[in-house]
Structure 1
Amino acid sequence: MSTYANPWRPLFELPALLLWTGIAAVSWATAELWDLHAASFRWLGVGSLVMALTWLPGTVRGISRRDWLRGRPQQFIDPQVFAARVPSWPGLLWMGRGFDWEARHAQEALDLIRLGPERFVPRDPGRLGATWIHGLGGADAEITVPLAHTEGHVLIVGTTGCGKTRLFDLLVTQAVLRGDAVVILDPKGDRGLRAAAERACALAGTPQRFVSFHPAFPAESVRLDPLRHFQRATELASRVAALIPSETGNDPFKAFGQMALSHAVHGLLAVEERPTLVTLRRYLEGGADSLVERVLQRYFDTHLPHWQEHAGPYINKARDANRRARGLLAFYRERVRGEHPSTVIDGLGGLLEHEAVHFGKMVASLMPVIVMLTSGHLEGLLSPDETDPNDPRRAASIGEIIARREVLYVGLDSLSDPIVGSAIGSMLTADLAAVAGSIYNHEAHPRPTDIFIDEAAETVSDPLIQLLNKGRGAGLRLTIATQTFADFAARMGSEEKARQVLGNLNGLIAMRVIDAKTQEYIAESLPAVRLCTVVKSQGSTTASDRPLLYTGNAGERLDEAEAPLFPAALLGELPNFEYLARWPGGRVSKGRLPILGEPLPPPAER
C-alpha cells in the first residue's frame, strides 16, 4: 500500500506555529519581570522558538500550496524578446510554462474535488475556468519538447475561444524562426493567424517569405494551381472527382465523372498542355472535339509522316470542329490503330462519340463542383495563366513554396461559402500529398516542413490521411486542430473512420473541451494510475435482551483503485490558454501559454 497524505487537510501546523511563537514572545517579554527566573524564561523562549521553527516549513508549504490554487495573471511576451530566445532552444519546441502531470497530481486533484475546491478558491464569476487545476503543480518551469516528438504529428483539441489561435501563433512563430517551410490551412480565414504568420517572417528578417492565398481578397493573393503536382495522370481525375458529393462508394455518376476527367487529363498531357480546372471545364462543358482533333494531329505527326495526304477523304467535307474530329478519329481507327494503337485516343474517342444528352446527365454531379471553382475570381486564383501579362499576381505552387522555404497562409473563407472552402482545402491537401510523394521519392534527407491545419474536420480527406500515414518520410510535421471528436466522425461518416485519422496523431494537446465524448477519448488515451481513497466506517450494536448495553466501533481504511491520470470532466474546466498535453513516450504536461504581444488596454481606454 502506497504512502498517503492528504495535503488539503486542516493546516494543523499553523496553530502550533502561532502557539510556540506566542510562548517564545511572552517568555522573552516577561523575563525581566522575574529576577530570580529570568534565565529560565529566556531558555523557555529559545526552546519555544526552536519548536516554532520546526512547524514553520510545513506551515509555509501549506499556505503556499493554497495560494497557488488561486492562479496567476495571464503572461505576455514581447515578440522581439521571444524571437531572441528561440535560438536558445535548438532541436526543441517551447510550450510555455508548467509542469509534468504525474500520479501525485491526480491524487491531489481527487482529494480536492472531494473536499470542494470552493473551500480554498471561491469562484470568480468574471474568471473563466478552474485556476486550481494548474495550481496543483506549484511553481512553473519552462516546458520544452524535442522536435523529434512532433514528427509523429500533433492533434490540438479545444472549444471555441479557448486559445487555439494563440497556440498556433507560438508554434508557427517558432517554425518560421527555425527556417522551416510552413503551410497554414485556415478554413475560417482568421486575421489574427494570418497576421501572426506575417509577423513571424518579419521577426526572422525575411518578410518576403510570407505568401498569402485568400478567395475573399483576390488582389492580395498569390495564384495557386491545385492540379500542379501529380505522379500519375489519374491522380488529377481522382482529385477532382473526390469533390463530388456521394453517399456510397460505388456511385455510378461519380465513377463516370472520374472516367471523363481521366480521359480529358490524358488528352491535355498528350498535347503537352498543363491540366487546370478551367481547361477541364472547357472540354467537359463545351465538348472534347477540339481536344480530340489536337491529340490526333499530334499523334499522326509522330507516327505517320505526311498523314494529311491520306486523311483528306475523311476530313475534306467536314464543316465544323466536331465533324473534323470525328473524321480524324475514323482515319485513326481504319489506317493507324492497327500498327500504332493508343489508349489515350481510344478513351477520347469514346468521350467524343458519347450521346450528348446522356453525357450531360452523367456529369451533372461533377459540373457544379468545377463551375464553382472556376467562376469569378476563383478562375484566375486556381487556374493561373502564367503567360497573361495583365495579371501581376505571382503564380506559385505548393512545391515551389516548400522548396524556397516560404510561409504560405491559405484562408479558405469557409464562413462565406463552406462548400467552396472545403473543396479548395481538399484539393490543396491532395496537391500537398503529391508534393510529399515527390520529396519522399527524390530527396534522401528532406528538410522539415510544418503543416498547420485549423478546423481540420472541414478539410479531412483520404489525401490528409495519407499525409498523416506517410508524411514523416518526406519531412512533414502536421499539427491539426479541431473542436470535438464528433467533427471528424461526422465528416468521415463513421466513428471508426474518425479513429483511423486520430490514430495517426502521436501527440495530443487538449485545451478546454466541452464535448463529453471528446473528453472521454482524451482521458482514455492517457495512462491509468492507482489512486487512494480513505474509507471511513462507524457503527453500534445493542443486545435485544439487554438494551442498555451496547458496543460501538469506528475505523478507516485506505483503498486503491484504478483511475485516469487526468479526470475527463476537468478538461471542461481548463481556463483559456491552459492545456494538457500527451507526448510520444508517455510524458504528460500541464502548461500555460503566454500571448505574443502587449496586453490590450481596458475597454474604457480603447
Structure 2
Amino acid sequence: MAKFDNLKYSLTWRPNYELYQVLVMLSGALFYLLYGFFNPGVQTPVMIIASIFVLFAMIKIPAAYKVWQRQSLLAGHDLNFVSIEKVRQFVLSKKHPDVCWLGYGFKWMPRHTQELCEALKRNWAEFGRTPKGILQTLAFKDAEVISEHVGQTWIHGLEPKESKILQKLSHMDGHTMIFGTTGSGKTRFFDLLITQAICQGDSIIILDPKGDIDLMNNAKRSCEALGRADAFVKFHLAHLDESSRINPLANWSNATEVPSRVSSIMPTTGSSAPFTNFAWSAMNSIVHAMVLCGDKPTLKRLRAYIEGGVETLTARSIIMWMKTVYKENAQKVIDEVVKDFRPNSKKYTERLVSHYKTAMRLKHHSTVLDGIIDLLEHDAEHYSKMITSLLPILNKLTSGQLGDALSPPNEEEAALHEYRDFGEMIGKGCVVYVGLDMLSNAEVGGALGAMFIADLTAVAGSIYNFQGKSGRRIDVFVDEANEIANDGFIQLLNKGRGANFRLFVATQTFADFSVRTGSSSKATQVFGNLNNIFTLRSQDPETQKFFCARMPKTKIRYVAQDQGQSTLAHEPILMGGSTGERLVEEESELVPPEVLGLLPNLEYFGVISGGYVVKGRVPILYSEEEKDRIKS
C-alpha cells in the first residue's frame, strides 16, 4: 500500500528546472574539459571538477526525464485502430475469461484530480502544442489560431501509463448507460461492446431510432468476420424491401398484454385518458374473442375488427363456446338456433347472442363473450368517437409495406414469407438490428419502437418464469434511448436482469429522458437501474452534474500566498510588512463537471463495478477488408 503524506505537494506542470540544471552541469563539465585540454598543467584537478559536474548531471537526469516525459504526454494519443480478429482472439483467450474490454486507459485517482486542477490554473490551451519556429516568433503578427483536435487531448496525458480497461461480465449485468454529444463516439463504443458480445455467443438486439447505417453495417460486418453471418437479422423502416418481417404481437403469456402493448403508444394523461382506456377495453374484448376462436392476434386483424365491426367475430366466438359447452350435441343445437338465417348475416349473429343470453349465460357464463357482446351492442356513434385516437396509430402500423412487414394479411401470405419474432430470434442467438428511421417519421418509428420494447419485456417475463438465468445472455443495445423510453422500457430495466437481459443504453443528455418521460422523477427512475455509467464529451451541465454526483469527493491542495503591509497613525514613516505561504486543502469533485465538456472524441470517464472511476479511450474497429484503407 502506498504511503500517504499529508504534506506532500509538487507542481507537475512547472518549468523543467531539473533539465536546466542538467544543461548547466554538462555545460560546466564541457568548459572544464576544454580548459584542461588547452592547459595540460592543470589537467588533473580540472578533470576532477568536470567529473563532479557530470556526476551531478547524471543525478538530475532521471528527475528531468520524468518531468519531460510527463509533460510530453500532454500532446495526447493518436487514434487507436484494432482489428475485429484481434478482439475475437482477446475474447476467446484463456488469459482473460469472462471479462469485457472497455478500451485503453487507467483508474482515475485523487492524484489525477490534483494534477488536473493544477493544469486548469495554467495556460492549458497551450499544452501539447508544437513550439513556434523562429520565423513565427519574429513575425509582426501571430499566426491564426485553429484547433488541431476536437477536445483537449492533454486530459488523458495526466497518467503516463495506460493499459486495457477490463470489467468482469458479471459486473455488467446491472445495465450500462453511455452519455455523449453528437459525434463524440457512442456508436464506436457500441461497436466494441457488440463485437465482444457476438464473440461470446450472446443474443443481441440493437434498437436504433435514427437508423444509423454505420451501426448496422458494423454489426453485420462483425458477424461476417466472426463466422456468424447467418445470425444477422435486419429490420429497417427505410429499407423494408430488404428487411426481415417481424411480428411485434407474437410473444405474450396473457391476452391482456396485446391491447396493453398497442395502447402503450397512445397518450394516457389529461383529456386523452378516457379515449385510451376505451380503446384498451375494446381491443381487450376483441383479442380475447380471437384467442377463443383460435386466431393469432396481429395488427392487421385487430384493425379489421376495430374498423369493420365485430359481428362475425362475435358469432364465431359464441359458436366456439357452444361447442365447448355442448360438445357432441353442439352442432345440433347450433343448427336449431340459426335455422333459416344466412351465416354471417346480422340476424344470424343476433340469434346466437340471444341464445347465449337466455340459455347459456346463467349456467355457462363466459366473460369473453360478455365483453365482445357488449362491444357489439355499444352505441355506434359513441364508439366511433372513442376510437378516434386509436385508428391513426393502427393505420400507420398496418399500411403499405410496413403493414405487410409486421403482420401477414392472410395465411397464404404468411406461408410465402417467414415472419420472425423476438422470442424465436433470441432462442437462436441472432444478432438483430432494428432501424426505426425516426428522422423521417418520428411518430411511426416511436410507436414501433415502443411495441418492440413491450415485446422484449414479454419475452423477458417468459424467460424469467420458465427458464431463469440458465440460458444464453441477451444483450439489448438502445441508441438514442430517450426516443423510445416508456413504462415498458423502465420495466425491462427493472426486471430484465433476472431473465439474463443486459441493457446498454446511449443518449445525449439527462434532459432527453426528462422530456420524453414527462418528469425528472421518471428519468431518475430510469437511471437508478443503471450500475455502470460512461460519459464521452457532454456539453449539458445537468448531465455533467448527474454523472459527477456518482463519484466520491476528494481533497486537493494548493499553496496560498499571503502578504501584508502596515503602518502606525502616529508614525507614518515607520512601516512593516509580512509575506508567507501556506498549504491549503479543500474538498473537490473527483472529476470537475466542466471537464466532461473538454473530452476529445472517443475518450470517456466511467463509473463501473460499484464505484471504480476510470478514464479511457475507445479504439476504432476494422475488418480485414478495411485493413489497407485504414493503414493508408
Same fold (TM over 0.5): yes
Distance 1:240 1:510 in 2: 34
Aligned counterpart for 1:400 among listed residues 403, 406, 424: 424
Aligned counterpart for 1:67 among listed residues 53, 69, 72: 72
Q: Establish whether residue 46 from structure 1 lines up as the match of residue 51 from structure 2.
A: yes
What does residue range 195-214 of structure 1 map to in structure 2 within 5 Å? 195-214=217-236
CA shift, 1:544, in A, is 1.7
Runs of 4+ in structure 1 displaced over 6 angstroms? 599-602
Q: Establish whether residue 545 from structure 1 lines up as the match of residue 567 from structure 2.
A: no
Q: Establish whether residue 533 from structure 1 lines up as the match of residue 533 from structure 2.
A: no
What's the counterpart of residue 560 of structure 1?
585
Deviations, residues 267-289 of structure 1 (Å, cap 9, x unaligned): 01101111111111111110011
8 A Cα contact 1:105 1:137, kept in partner: yes
CA shift, 1:148, in A, is 1.2
Q: Number of residues paired by the alignment? A: 603
Distance 1:213 1:120 in 2: 47
What's the counterpart of residue 220 of structure 1?
242
Distance 1:476 1:568 in 2: 31
Deviations, residues 26-79 of structure 1 (Å, cap 9, x unaligned): 223332333333121112122111100111111111111111111122122233
**Structure 2 counterpart of 1:589, which letter?**
V
8 A Cα contact 2:300 2:409, kept in partner: no
8 A Cα contact 1:539 1:553, kept in partner: yes
* Secondary structure of 2:296 counterpart: coil
What's the counterpart of residue 135 of structure 2?
none
Q: Establish whether residue 451 from structure 1 lines up as the match of residue 476 from structure 2.
A: yes
What's the counterpart of residue 315 of structure 1?
338
What's the counterpart of residue 418 of structure 1?
442
Distance 1:149 1:490 in 2: 30
8 A Cα contact 2:531 2:610, kept in partner: no
RMSD between superposed Cα atoms in Å: 2.0
What's the counterpart of residue 140 of structure 2?
none
In structure 2, do the counterparts of structure 1 residues 487 and 573 end up closer, same or farther at CA, with 3 Å as the change threshold? same
What's the counterpart of residue 478 of structure 1?
503
Deviations, residues 482-524 of structure 1 (Å, cap 9, x unaligned): 0010110001101111000011000011001011111111111
In structure 2, do the counterparts of structure 1 residues 83 and 318 end up closer, same or farther at CA, with 3 Å as the change threshold? same
In structure 2, do the counterparts of structure 1 residues 248 and 545 end up closer, same or farther at CA, with 3 Å as the change threshold? same
8 A Cα contact 2:314 2:373, kept in partner: yes
CA shift, 1:84, in A, is 3.0
Aligned counterpart for 2:290 among listed residues 252, 255, 268: 268
In structure 2, do the counterparts of structure 1 residues 314 and 219 end up closer, same or farther at CA, with 3 Å as the change threshold? same
Q: Establish whether residue 335 from structure 1 lines up as the match of residue 359 from structure 2.
A: yes
What's the counterpart of residue 134 of structure 2?
none
8 A Cα contact 2:323 2:331, kept in partner: no
What's the counterpart of residue 99 of structure 1?
106
What does residue range 129-140 of structure 1 map to in structure 2 within 5 Å? 129-140=151-162
**Structure 2 unaligned residues grouped into runs of 5+:** 1-5, 130-144
Aligned counterpart for 1:521 among listed residues 536, 543, 546: 546
CA shift, 1:2, in A, is 4.4
Normalising by the residue count of structure 1, what TM-score does the alignment of the two structures yield? 0.96
**Structure 2 counterpart of 1:375, which letter?**
S
Deviations, residues 453-482 of structure 1 (Å, cap 9, x unaligned): 000001111111111111111111100000
Distance 1:532 1:567 in 2: 15
Deviations, residues 410-459 of structure 1 (Å, cap 9, x unaligned): 00111111011011111111110111111111114132111100000011
8 A Cα contact 2:319 2:334, kept in partner: no
What's the counterpart of residue 259 of structure 1?
281
**Structure 2 counterpart of 1:55, which letter?**
K
What's the counterpart of residue 143 of structure 1?
165
8 A Cα contact 1:223 1:384, kept in partner: no
What's the counterpart of residue 41 of structure 2?
36
* Secondary structure of 1:37 counterpart: helix
Distance 2:477 2:51 in 1: 65
What does residue range 165-204 of structure 1 map to in structure 2 within 5 Å? 165-204=187-226
CA shift, 1:306, in A, is 3.3
8 A Cα contact 1:154 1:478, kept in partner: yes
Distance 1:393 1:4 in 2: 72
* Secondary structure of 2:346 counterpart: helix
**Structure 2 counterpart of 1:100, which letter?**
K
What's the counterpart of residue 521 of structure 2?
496
Deviations, residues 331-390 of structure 1 (Å, cap 9, x unaligned): 011011121110000011100100111111111111111111111111111113684358
Distance 2:71 2:627 in 1: 28
Distance 1:104 1:302 in 2: 76
* Secondary structure of 2:412 counterpart: coil
8 A Cα contact 2:73 2:128, kept in partner: no
Deviations, residues 97-148 of structure 1 (Å, cap 9, x unaligned): 1111111111111011011213434475232101111111123211111111
Distance 1:390 1:466 in 2: 32
Distance 2:332 2:24 in 1: 119
What does residue range 359-378 of structure 1 map to in structure 2 within 5 Å? 359-378=383-402
8 A Cα contact 1:253 1:363, kept in partner: yes
Distance 1:106 1:541 in 2: 38
**Structure 2 counterpart of 1:94, which letter?**
W
Distance 1:16 1:53 in 2: 10
What's the counterpart of residue 292 of structure 1?
314
| Percentage identity across paired residues of the two chains | 39
Out of 591-600 and 404-413, give the one that drifted further: 591-600
